[in-house]
Structure 1
Amino acid sequence: MIELVIDARRKDLGGFEVGRVLPFHSHRMVGPFIFLDQMGPAEFAPGADAINVRPHPHIGLSTLTYLFEGEIMHHDNLGYNQVIRPGEVNWMTAGKGIVHSERTDPLKRSLGGRMHGMQAWVALPEEAEEIDPSFHHLGEDAQPAYENGGLFARLVAGEAYGARASAPVSSPLFYVHWELQPGVRTTPPAGAGAGGMSERALFVAKGSIEVGDRTFHEGQMIVLEPTAEPTITAITAATVMVLGGEPVGQRLIWWNFVASSQARIDQAKADWKAGRMALPSEDDLEFIPLPEEPAPRPTDPV
């Protein structure tokens, strides 16, 4: 019932570590999810730099930021300045192009504290790759939730378990946050054989779970076979992100750009290098330069 197991690769982003899960060399995407990072967990000392991602561009995708602990301040060139806190969703659709930054608020930085969350990129279907950019901040009440018998589940985006979240997704997908107490048993959304999504995966953000007769730990993604209907058992208290959807087709990813053609990637490179993409008005004193060729895999959490 398990197609592949992916271990997150730890990346130091200058005093802050992420666990990079997607893209993976032999499994680039899960449904439309083309990028997945676990941010932290980390404990910042008072006065530490914490999250300090300078303005940078995106095309051809939506970013989804979701936190378990801490907070991040978002600025973008549409004029949105928004703090995100645990249980909330920042859903930013780049479309034909957007520029944003993510920082730790100066007051929060002075106090220090915990940071733990997830950053996902969702590739847009071809007909939506060039739509106008947009930003949506969604509070906890915009996301269906369920709690019973040691299981807490929140539908962060898409449709699952007969419910629909408020994030304005562009293709069939689901993204679910589970909190499991030891011994709790549950199941992911249905697979292809039961009329559900054709691609699904589980990411263990904290603790340990059992899938079938195998145990998995923090930092591991379990990619399920399309028709598998496994039972998931929490070995310890566990935080799990469950994600999946329908494929949108092959995509290229270069730095922060996602597109269905190399020509579009090249145009985005030229636009950023030439300064044709405006910086956020509230954060326009610096930016991340275009990487020198050949580009690395994405190195920023957003």
Structure 2
Amino acid sequence: MVGAVRSVQPIGAILGEGPVWYDAALWFVDIKRQRIYRYDPARDALQEWDAPGEVGWVLPRAGGGMIAGLDTGLHAFDPVSGQFEHLFDPEAHLPGNRLNDATTDAQGRIWFGSMDNAEQDATGRLYRAEATGSSDSGLSPVVITNGPAIAPDGGALYHTDTLGRTVWRVVLNDDGTLAAPTLFCEIAPGEGHPDGSTIDAEGCVWVALFGGWGVRRYDPADTLIETVRCPVANVTKIAFGGPDLRTAYATTARKGLSEEDLRAQPLAGNLFAFDAGVAGLPVHPAKL
């Protein structure tokens, strides 16, 4: 049974995103404020760092530190010093793009997407990065890629076309190649746009709804089995955290809301939490 949704940090993010539980804390970003956060719920303490660009996500790196996806590509990020080291940019030829969402698989590969920052042209692609380099996944380009998520057995990847209102399931082979995508779910007009996705220990897919006031949980057969209503319209992604990985943390956004909307949604952009009623999966550090 899902618990009540509560605001746990008054961030007021313009575009909160990329939550991931690591090192007994929740890491997340505000893309438009170019900021990385670390929230320690045991101490109710928040740390923050400025990034050298629009940062879409951070993930733990095997051996220490983090990997951050920015509008200028992948960077190594050292939380101790606050320093960033540029690694590579798969889209240096597309200055209007930025990186948007990411996850890791059991092999330590990073699956990350890009998008047109103007949200107009289908220039967003899904990439795979590993110790030997990075490559295009081969999936068709879209305007906004989102929510790459990996099934518990590692045999499937879920990929979101946000403006197309669709989430796709793709067979993921051991060598990192992908099969042809099949439609997993579609969000009807007026019900928001699918944003970040996360998978729980039972293999169910949680899809955050930007403009849809909540999060949906689908079973592996694509049946909608639960909807969690939130007090703000723009929910961007959830991550499972806490000692038992049963607390769902949700990032949200003020982006696109009018002054009237913001008066009606004073908590917009905050970090929220609720008891998910199910455990999540631990993050795999990136081997990069």
Query: TM-score normalized by structure 2?
Result: 0.36
> Could you say which structure has the larger radius of gyration?
1
Query: TM-score normalized by structure 1?
Result: 0.35
Structure richer in helix, relative to its length: 1
